[in-house]
């Protein structure tokens, strides 16, 4: 998603979908693609956006959990020197 340009006049407000989703960061191409996806699945555009956000949050949570599950074993200096000597 692109960032909103800062050159917007003070009397212009961004369009907000269902009171939650500001659409100013999407260009017309992205909005058309999302709209086609919504029509193909028979749902509203807001539902597509909700699903995308939920998917992104779940992915971020899974990646954070994965880092906690990796066990890092310390290597002693003796092991390193023995490996280099052989």
Local confidence pLDDT in tens for the 86 residues of the chain: 566 556 666 776 677 777 777 777 777 888 888 889 999 999 988 888 888 888 888 898 888 887 777 777 777 666 666 666 65
The number of angstroms, rounded, from the C-alpha of 72 to the middle of its chain's C-alpha atoms is 28
* pLDDT of res. 60: 87
Tell me the CA distances in angstroms from 4 to 8, 10, 21, 49, 63, one per residue in order.
9, 14, 14, 18, 28
Q: Where are the domains of the chain?
A: 16-85
């Amino acid at each position: 998603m692109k960032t909103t340009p800062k050159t917007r006049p003070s009397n212009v407000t961004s369009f907000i979908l269902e009171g939650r989703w500001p659409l100013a960061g999407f260009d017309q191409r992205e909005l058309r693609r999302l709209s086609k996806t919504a029509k193909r699945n028979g749902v509203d555009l807001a539902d597509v956006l909700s699903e995308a956000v939920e998917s992104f949050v779940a992915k971020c949570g899974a990646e954070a959990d994965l880092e906690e599950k990796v066990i890092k074993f310390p290597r002693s200096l003796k092991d390193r020197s023995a490996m280099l000597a052989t």
